[in-house]
Amino acid sequence: ETGVTQSPTHLIKTRGQQVTLRCSSQSGHNTVSWYQQALGQGPQFIFQYYREEENGRGNFPPRFSGLQFPNYSSELNVNALELDDSALYLCASSRWGVATDTQYFGPGTRLTVL
Amino acid sequence: ILNVEQSPQSLHVQEGDSTNFTCSFPSSNFYALHWYRWETAKSPEALFVMTLNGDEKKKGRISATLNTKEGYSYLYIKGSQPEDSATYLCASPKGGNQFYFGTGTSLTVIP
């Protein structure tokens, strides 16, 4: 098991609502990346946080936003939820900028939008 | 955005069979290729990180090879066991360590 935790485990929201997902990083890591895994797809890169700033974003609209805190933990916020936002959201912690470094994943948060 | 593809999408094999699957990725601006195993209800678990053309890595009955010139990697499992049942993901980093994943190969090993 990795030292990366995510909360909550499951979440049900209705369309138009807002949601916040949380992730704690592994000790010694300073970077958190967020991924969305929709049914039948591989994890899709949402964005990455380093030094409390967003560094790199995948093909996701601005209603997906995030934060990173001084202890390197992170939040993913999604506003104006849509049905297609239903997915498993994974976070991963790593060291900054090292392509050969393993990313350590949390168990994910399952979001259902009704 | 990097286009990483995996095939086949799913695979059912008998216990004891050997199997392999493919990950293809853009060969330009290559940094590394990561393989993960993802069991249901668990976190994805790192298997290999591959960087050099011709690289071959091994972990027990699982091995992987890398061809960066043509942009593919193979994952092999020798003598499949039921505990090997999982989804196997490959990922290619961009811009340091922003991972772009394939859709995965779902392996089911039938006892």
Mean pLDDT of A17-24: 98
Q: What is the pLDDT of residue B56?
A: 95
pLDDT class of B2 with cuts at 50, 70, 90? confident
Q: What is the mean pLDDT of residues B41-50?
A: 94
How do strand A109-113 and strand A10-13 relate by DSSP bridges? parallel
Confidence bin at A72 (pLDDT 50/70/90): very high
- Nearest-angstrom CA–CA distance, A68 and A52: 5
* Average pLDDT of the residues of chain A: 93
Is the Cβ pair A102, B100 closer than 8 Å? Answer: no
DSSP state of B82: G
Give how far A16 is from chain B: nearest CA, Å. Answer: 28
Instruction: Tell me the longest C-alpha to C-alpha distance in chain A.
Output: 39
Looking at beta carbons, which residues of chain A come within 8 Å of B31?
A: 99-100
Q: Is the CB of residue B52 less than 8 Å away from at least one CB of chain A? A: no
Judge contact between B107 and B84, C-beta under 8 A. yes
Q: How confident is the model at residue A2 (pLDDT cuts 50, 70, 90)?
A: low
SS3 B84: helix
What totals of helices (H) and strands (E) does chain A contain, helices first?
A: 0, 11
CA A8 to chain centre: 12
The pair of structure tokens assigned to A66 is 């995030």
